Each structure stands twice: as C-alpha cells, then as structure tokens.
Amino acid sequence: MRRAFYDRPVLEVARDLIGGVVRHGETSGVIVETEAYHESEAACHAYVGLTRRTSTLFGEPGTAYVYRSYGIHALLNAVCEPPGIGAAVLIRALEPATGVETMRRRRGVDDLRALCSGPGKLTQALGIELDLNQTDLIDGPIAIEPATTNWHGARVVADRRIGITKAAELPWRFCAADSRYLSRSTTGAAVA
C-alpha cells in the first residue's frame, strides 16, 4: 500500500482494507474485519485531543498505532487521514495465510478459525507488541499489502462496532460477508 491509500477518510480506508494482507515476519493473514475510529466520536482515543498516548493517531497516515487494551492485549491500528486529524482503523480479524504453525505455537490453539478471530488474538499470533507502535506500515516491520485478485469485489458488510460502550451505534465495523474468521458474526447491510 502507498501512503496515499491511508491519507483518506477513515471509513473508506476501513472498508478498503478488507482483503488486504497483514504481514509480520514469517506470519501473515488476510484482513476480514476492521473498525473505523475518528476523533469526532467518543470511542476513539483521539477524542480527548492530543496527548502523549494519542500523538500517534494524529501523525503520518500509514503508521502503526499499537496500544494495550485492558492491560492485556496489544491491538493493531492503521493511522488514517491527514496529519493533525486523529483517526485509525483497528484490524479486528484475519484469515490466517502464512506461518500458521508459528501462529498456533504463539496462541497455544490448533483451531485455524480461532487463531486470529479477534484483535488481541491476531497480534499474539503475528507476534505484534507495543514496541511496534509508531512504525511504518509501508516499509515494515509490519506491512499491510494490497488485496490479492481473488479478494477484489468481495462482498463487504457494515455493522455496529463491538466491545465498546461509547458511540457503539455507529455502523463503522466492516466485514468480509462470507468469512468464517470474523470475531463475531454480523447482521449488517451490504456496502457498495
């Protein structure tokens, strides 16, 4: 992906990331679920403004924003929109692609569907931790690559975000409609 891909409205990027590939080291997976976050709504970390913790969100598009959720899981986000606007896409679920045995060892599970079916699960499976916050998603060490040809035109649905209490009514969760690897099933409507 080029930086210009991320330098667009976060809702467009979140939808267009479906089918892209997250790669870290020998492991990778196809993005099947994302959520958009923008400084204008209360569920986004940037809603509070520019702080030491949120500074990454206001930075260069195409930067990794990795933070710890509930003191347990590292979560991977892709910073979007022009610098100065706090917005990012949370990578919620992946379909495992390469390095599956490494992922199984890291996660301690055999079930392929359970390896990356949540934002904390996928970072554990891919070995992504807080030290990768503020790294470049174009040149790595975490890279997000364009969708492969078999993912072009995949049906994407929008639904409400999950696991949050603020601004939960917004249909800012995007899912590959027929994926078996989602963190939770969706009842959303098709997205053009």
In the chain the domains, ranked by start, together with CATH numbers, are 3-191 (3.10.300.10)
Q: pLDDT digit string (tens) for 78-134?
A: 999 999 999 999 999 999 999 999 999 999 999 999 999 999 999 999 999 999 999
Report the range of poorest mean pLDDT among 57-66, 79-88, 157-166, 180-189. 180-189
The CB density around residue 169, as the number of other CB atoms within 10 Å, is: 9
pLDDT for residue 56 is more than 70: yes
Task: Please write the tens of the pLDDT for every residue from 17-44.
Answer: 999 999 999 999 999 999 999 988 878 8
Helix then strand count (H, E) for the chain reads 4, 9
Q: What is the pLDDT of residue 70?
A: 63
Using the CB atoms, write b or e for 81-118: b if 16+ within 10 Å: beeebbbbbbbbbbbbbebbeebbebbeeeeeeebbbb
Which position has the token pair 């959720």? 69
The pLDDT of 156-168, averaged and rounded, is 85
**For residue 148, pLDDT beyond 90:** no
* pLDDT for 187 beyond 80: no
Mean pLDDT across the chain, nearest whole number? 89
Please name which of 144, 139, 36, 33 lies closest in space to residue 85, comparing C-alpha atoms. Answer: 36
Q: Which residues pair with 113 in a beta bridge?
A: none
> Which tokens sit at 114?
């359970």
Q: Which of the four pLDDT bands, split at 50, 70 and 90, describes residue 152? A: low
* pLDDT score recorded for residue 53: 83
Over 60: is that where the pLDDT of 190 sits?
Answer: no
* C-beta separation of 74 from 67 below 8 A: yes
